[in-house]
Amino acid sequence: MAATAGHNNLNAKLVLLGDMGAGKSSLVLRFVKGQFLEFQESTIGAAFFSQTLAVNDATVKFEIWDTAGQERYHSLAPMYYRGAAAAIIVYDITNADSFTRAKKWVQELQKQGNPNMVVALAGNKADLEDKRKVTAEEARVYAEENGLFFMETSAKTAANVNDVFYEIAKRLPRAQPAQKPAGMVLVDRPAEGSRAASCCS
Ligand X SMILES: Nc1nc2c(ncn2[C@@H]2O[C@H](COP(=O)(O)OP(=O)(O)OP(=O)(O)O)[C@@H](O)[C@H]2O)c(=O)[nH]1
- The rounded distance, in Å, linking the Cα atoms of 49 and 201 is 7
Site for another protein in 160-199 (CB under 8 A): 182-183, 185, 187, 198
Q: Is 130 in the site for ligand X (CB under 6 A)?
A: no
**DSSP secondary-structure letter at 199?**
B
Out of 4, 9, 11, 26, which residue is the one contacting ligand X (CB under 6 A)?
Answer: 26
Inter-residue contact 86 to 119 (CB < 8 Å): yes
25 is a contact residue toward ligand X (CB under 6 A): yes
The residue count for binding another protein (CB under 8 A) is 36
- The option from ligand X, Mg ion, another protein, none interacting with 96 (CB < 5 to 8 A, set by class) reads none
Closest CA to 194 of 171, 165, 173: 165
Cα–Cα distance measured from residue 153 to residue 88, given in angstroms and rounded to the nearest whole number: 12
Helix intervals (H) in the chain: 24-33, 77-81, 96-112, 136-145, 161-171
Query: How many positions of this chain bind ligand X (CB under 6 A)?
Result: 23
Figure out which of the listed residues 7, 35, 76, 193 binds another protein, where binding follows CB under 8 A.
Answer: 76
Q: Cα–Cα distance between 127 and 94 in angstroms, integer?
A: 10
Closest listed residue to residue 94, CA positions, set 67, 122, 125: 125
CA distance 150 to 53: 20
β-bridge partners, 65: 15, 48
Residue 199 interacts with ligand X (CB under 6 A)? no
Paired strand residues for 158? none
| Residue 66 or 152 having the CB closest to another protein | 66
Q: Which of residues 10-49 bind Mg ion (CB under 5 A)?
A: 24-25, 43
23-62 residues in contact with another protein (CB under 8 A) are 37, 39-46, 48, 50
Per CB under 6 A, 24 contacts ligand X: yes
Q: Which residues bind another protein (CB under 8 A)?
A: 20-21, 37, 39-46, 48, 50, 63, 65, 68, 70, 72-76, 78-80, 83, 107-108, 111-112, 182-183, 185, 187, 198, 200
Q: Which residues bind Mg ion (CB under 5 A)?
A: 24-25, 43
